């Protein structure tokens, strides 16, 4: 396992260089030359203009990893993963970064193939698929009603039923994703971790902490300065400063 981690780590520079598209090429050159801070600034510029550019997030994660900023690296890898969960490069580097903080992308004991299927589509893709299936079911159902009694009506009815069944499956898939570690989640990005307080403010006592790079469940966002967060593995919750956690 240790050799696998070393292999993945050594693969980080080529992986970043593999996506020389447009403006990324210039910043990837900086990355290859070891100018990680300069490359990171470039990737941030692309992210500001194209927040759905998974490779900008991914390469920013690589630069942050090289700069030993584990929390922000996990956050950027996670953002890339949520945009493109099928990418093997993104999955491998996110899993590697998570393991540096005692976590893993797939739950221990879960079949890798099953986890891949679970995250095969992004949430945006699932919602788009559900919308498409909804309209297909409606239109085919309307056609079946108008063509009642004819062969075309029977065929349209079957299409409507199939689309409705697939819609139900997609809705269940979306609902299941709400229990994933990335749903209503954030990443501890503060160097050294964040304190968990018993309430939202310095007058409350510190009784636990969450390490840098930890994925946490965000339970309450109502306070101006604090999130209420949960650590699922430990089964505890508390309040942490919002500026020490990046919401996914």
Is 8's pLDDT higher than 70? Answer: no
pLDDT 10s digits, 193-206: 999 999 999 999 99
Domain C-terminal end among 117, 132, 161: 117
Is 151's pLDDT higher than 90? Answer: no
CA-nearest of 211, 216, 215 to 191 is 211
Of 145 and 230, the structure prediction assigns the larger pLDDT to 230
**How far apart are the C-alpha atoms of 139 and 202, rounded to whole Å?**
57
Over the chain, what is the mean pLDDT? 87
Residue 150: pLDDT band (50, 70, 90) is low
User: What's the confidence (pLDDT) of residue 12?
Assistant: 45
One domain, residues 208 and 143? no
One domain, residues 195 and 162? no
User: What's the confidence (pLDDT) of residue 179?
Assistant: 82
Q: Indicate the pTM of the whole model.
A: 0.84
One domain, residues 106 and 128? no
One domain, residues 28 and 102? yes
Domain C-terminal end among 117, 151, 169: 117
Domain C-terminal end among 154, 177, 200: 177
User: What's the confidence (pLDDT) of residue 2?
Assistant: 40
Locate 158 and state its tokens.
């079957």
CA 171 to chain centre: 19
User: What's the confidence (pLDDT) of residue 149?
Assistant: 60
User: What's the confidence (pLDDT) of residue 228?
Assistant: 96
One domain, residues 193 and 231? yes
One domain, residues 194 and 231? yes
User: What's the confidence (pLDDT) of residue 96?
Assistant: 95
Is 7's pLDDT higher than 50? Answer: no
Q: What percent of the chain has pLDDT over 90?
A: 65
Please check whether residue 62 is in contact with residue 80, taking contact to mean a CB–CB distance below 8 angstroms: no
Please check whether residue 245 is in contact with residue 194, taking contact to mean a CB–CB distance below 8 angstroms: yes
Torsion of CA 79, 234, 108, 91, to 10 degrees: 10
Is 74's pLDDT higher than 90? Answer: yes
How many structural domains are present in the chain? 3
One domain, residues 89 and 70? yes
pLDDT 10s digits, 158-192: 888 999 999 999 999 988 888 888 889 999 999 99
DSSP the chain: -HHHHHHHHHTHHHHHHT---TTHHHHHHHHHTT-HHHHHHHHHHHHHH-TT-HHHHHHHHHHHHHTT-HHHHHHHHHHHHHH-TT-HHHHHHHHHHHHTTT--SSPTT--HHHHHHHTSS-HHHHHHHHHHHHHHHHHHHHHHHHTTTSHHHHHHHHHHHHHHHHHHHHHHHHHHHTTSTTTTEEEE-STT-EEEESSSSTTSPEEEEE-TT-EEEEEE--SSSEEEEEETTTTEEEEEEGGGEEE-
Residue 233: pLDDT band (50, 70, 90) is confident
What range does the domain containing 142 cover? 123-177
One domain, residues 94 and 157? no
**How far apart are the C-alpha atoms of 161 and 242, rounded to whole Å?**
46
One domain, residues 15 and 94? yes
Q: What are phi and psi for residue 11, nearest 5 degrees?
A: -80, -5
User: What's the confidence (pLDDT) of residue 146?
Assistant: 83
| CATH code of the domain containing 237 | 2.30.30.40
One domain, residues 58 and 83? yes
pLDDT 10s digits, 86-116: 999 999 999 999 999 899 998 887 788 888 8
| CATH code of the domain containing 26 | 1.25.40.10
One domain, residues 49 and 138? no
Is 35's pLDDT higher than 50? Answer: yes
User: What's the confidence (pLDDT) of residue 215?
Assistant: 95
Locate 171 and state its tokens.
């809705």
Residues linked to residue 14 through DSSP beta bridges, in sequence order: none
Residue 140: pLDDT band (50, 70, 90) is confident
One domain, residues 66 and 95? yes
């Amino acid at each position: 396992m240790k050799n696998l981690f070393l292999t993945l780590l050594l693969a980080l520079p080529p992986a970043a260089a593999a996506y020389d598209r447009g403006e990324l090429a210039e910043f990837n050159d900086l990355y290859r030359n070891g100018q990680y801070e300069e490359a990171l600034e470039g990737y941030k510029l692309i992210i500001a203009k194209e927040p759905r550019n998974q490779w900008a997030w991914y390469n920013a994660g690589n630069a942050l990893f090289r700069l030993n900023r584990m929390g922000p690296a996990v956050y950027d890898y996670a953002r890339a993963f949520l945009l493109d969960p099928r990418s093997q490069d993104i999955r491998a580097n996110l899993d590697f970064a998570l393991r540096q903080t005692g976590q893993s992308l797939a739950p221990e004991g879960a079949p890798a193939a099953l986890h891949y299927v679970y995250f095969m589509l992004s949430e945006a893709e699932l919602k788009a698929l559900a919308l498409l299936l909804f309209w297909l079911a409606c239109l085919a159902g309307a056609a079946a009603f108008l063509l009642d009694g004819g062969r075309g009506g029977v065929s349209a009815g079957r299409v409507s039923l199939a689309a409705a069944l697939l819609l139900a499956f997609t809705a269940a898939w979306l609902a299941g994703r709400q229990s994933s570690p990335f749903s209503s989640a954030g990443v501890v990005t503060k160097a050294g971790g964040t304190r968990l307080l018993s309430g939202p403010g310095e007058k409350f006592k510190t009784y636990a902490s969450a390490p840098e790079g930890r994925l946490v469940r965000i339970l309450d966002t109502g306070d101006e300065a604090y999130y209420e967060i949960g650590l699922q593995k430990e089964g505890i919750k508390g309040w942490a400063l919002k500026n020490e956690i990046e919401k996914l």
